[in-house]
Chain A
Amino acid sequence: MITLTHYLLLSGILFTIGLVGVITRRNVIMILLSLEILLNSANLAFVAFSRALGNLTGQLMVFFVMIVAAAEVTVGLAIAVVLVRQAGKTNADELRGLKW
């Protein structure tokens, strides 16, 4: 018998993996990929709650999260391209232009 708890725990595990990815990986592209995992773990929780409560709003929220993710990826990848073109590196530790 698979319950809501199973899905919530799976979503939590997925979120943790994404969080560890954001913390440990230093490449800008890899950080963006880990962010995608974070967003998707939230999506899983939304859909699981939507099913458990018999309410479609959770699935609508997933739709909006996808739109936000698409906009985020578009701008994020454009910034990564500019970083490579102008600074020549994608290592997040070496990019300290905003630090004073």
Chain B
Amino acid sequence: MGHPILFYGLAALLIAGALGVILARHPVYAVLNLVATLFALSGLFALLGAIFVAVIQVLVYAGAILVLFLFVVMLLDMAPEDLLRLRGGTLKWAGTLVGLVFLWQLTRAVRVFVLSPPTAPPGPPVAGTTAAVGRLLFTTYALPFEVASGLLLVGIIGAVVLAKKKL
């Protein structure tokens, strides 16, 4: 499932970018770090053979959603977060502790999973090309696809209503 050098390089970029997001003081830097994270993730998707998802990741996530984030951050002109006001760092230590315990449990779960892999025999690796994904999307998953368009419509209406001058 991918060359080790490529995997570890992209994984290092991914983790560094994610850490940059949660440690950045200014929201603009955090958004730019998230762009790097998403590009690394897109590379991992391509490594796994999910070409369509990898392209969509860059186009939709990095290209549309994060630009929206950047617009709002710059529109609001937010000052860097006051790190000193984080209740003397208590919250930070508590959060890190919760994260470490969570990671420990997750590692144990993955180890159990490896010891007892799923019984279904793995099929041959399939390439996630646009044709293959699109065929599945418009046959088996046609109804969820249409429902998703309804969700997007509700999202648009919600944003328009919220953005009105007088609520």
Q: Which residue numbers of A lie inside 8 Å of B, CB to CB?
A: 1-10, 12-21, 23-27, 29-30, 32-34, 36-37, 40, 43-44, 47-48, 50-57, 59-60, 62-64, 66-75, 77-82, 84, 86, 90
Residues of chain A within 8 A (CB-CB) of B122 are 52-54
Which residue of the partner chain B has the closest CB to A14?
B18
What are 28 A-B contacts with C-beta separation under 8 Å? A2-B4, A4-B1, A10-B11, A12-B103, A12-B106, A14-B14, A15-B102, A16-B99, A18-B18, A20-B95, A23-B95, A27-B78, A37-B18, A40-B41, A47-B44, A47-B128, A50-B48, A50-B128, A51-B125, A54-B126, A63-B53, A67-B152, A72-B155, A74-B159, A77-B69, A78-B158, A81-B162, A90-B76
Query: Contacts A16-B102, A82-B162 hold; do A67 and B76 have CB atoms under 8 A apart?
Result: no
Looking at chain B's contact residues, is the secondary structure mostly helix, strand, loop, or mixed? helix
Query: Contacts A14-B18, A24-B91 hold; do A81 and B75 have CB atoms under 8 A apart?
Result: yes
Contact of A60 among B18, B113, B136, B151 (CB under 8 A): B136
Residues of chain A within 8 A (CB-CB) of B18 are 14, 17-18, 37
Residues of chain B within 8 A (CB-CB) of A32 are 69
Closest 3 CB pairs of A and B: A54-B123, A71-B155, A21-B22
Contact of B7 among A6, A29, A69 (CB under 8 A): A6
Query: Contacts A16-B102, A29-B72 hold; do A63 and B21 have CB atoms under 8 A apart?
Result: no
Interface centre among A17, A50, A67, A78 (most CB of B within 10 A): A17
Contact status B72-A80, CB under 8 Å: yes
B84 at the interface (CB under 8 A from A): no
